[in-house]
Structure 1
């Protein structure tokens, strides 16, 4: 794995990713809009790229940055669908990996909900990120890192 790229505007696992990649030789790139600017100092293996606040500006930059061996973390199904054929792994911050089997269903559900809201209906937003979600993410991410490190040695 070359690097981890994080869709950083609303990602609750940034600190966990930084912590879990420390000392692994894996670089982390966080892409954020200027409206989420932070002056927090990051470790050497982490860099933050800021982009304009325009719609999908973060997504466009991530697509441009992502390479074959990268892992991208995003909650955006549309971005995930664009990256499936471009990167090694696309992961949600709740710990599941996007793939060709689940992305169509996720996009269809998103579209159906949008149509329902457009016609005046109300839908619930995503459920709150919980401590259990964080534990699940850390476990899944650690497994991926371990698999990648083992594959490097072969």
Structure 2
């Protein structure tokens, strides 16, 4: 299965296309505002408003053989710990080897922004290359997920 932290995900269409190609069930989890899909493999999950409600829904279900798409580092850490494959929307995998560093960087950046309220803004804009990298990474993750399923 594929779980998408969907509220701010820029690659929903690509994720649905890959899931469909591999006949994998895909869950788009958000607190609303997403257009429903007619695809029978797609399930829209609408959770109540609140901090991290969508993240908790995904973290409670994701495990070995699943793929999670999120830019949320604490959610990614929980899913990696549970044995799921995790991808950022730009295709970067989050794994046991790099999740600790990602959490530390996130915490450092949070502290820097708190210390300097004028230091806002994110990184570079999402690009076509990011979208392409994501599609390739999800294809590989979907193959691994299918290979790890019990026969």
Partner of 1:142: 139
Partner of 2:106: 110
C-alpha contact 2:65 2:146 (8 A) present in aligned 1:
no
Q: Mark the CA change 1:150 to 1:132 in structure 2 (over 3 Å): closer, same or farther.
A: same
- State which of 55, 68, 75 in structure 2 corresponds to 1:72: 68
SS in 2 for 1:6: strand
SS in 2 for 1:65: coil
Partner of 1:14: 12
Where in structure 2 are there 5+ consecutive unaligned residues?
A: none
1:129 aligns with 2:126: yes
Q: Normalization by structure 2: what TM-score?
A: 0.89
Larger displacement relative to structure 2 (47-56 or 98-107): 98-107
1:94 aligns with 2:87: no
Report 1 or 2 for greater relative contact order, CA contacts < 8 Å, sequence distance ≥ 6: 2
Shift of residue 65 of structure 1? 2.2
C-alpha contact 2:65 2:148 (8 A) present in aligned 1:
no
Where in structure 1 are there 5+ consecutive unaligned residues?
A: none
SS in 1 for 2:43: strand
C-alpha contact 1:27 1:46 (8 A) present in aligned 2:
yes
Q: Mark the CA change 1:137 to 1:5 in structure 2 (over 3 Å): closer, same or farther.
A: same
C-alpha contact 1:113 1:123 (8 A) present in aligned 2:
no
How many pairs are equivalent? 150
SS in 2 for 1:30: strand
Shift of residue 23 of structure 1? 4.2
Partner of 1:119: 115
Q: Normalization by structure 1: what TM-score?
A: 0.87
Larger displacement relative to structure 2 (132-141 or 142-151): 142-151
Aligned CA-pair RMSD: 2.0
Matches within 5 A, 1:18-37: 18-34=16-32, 37=33
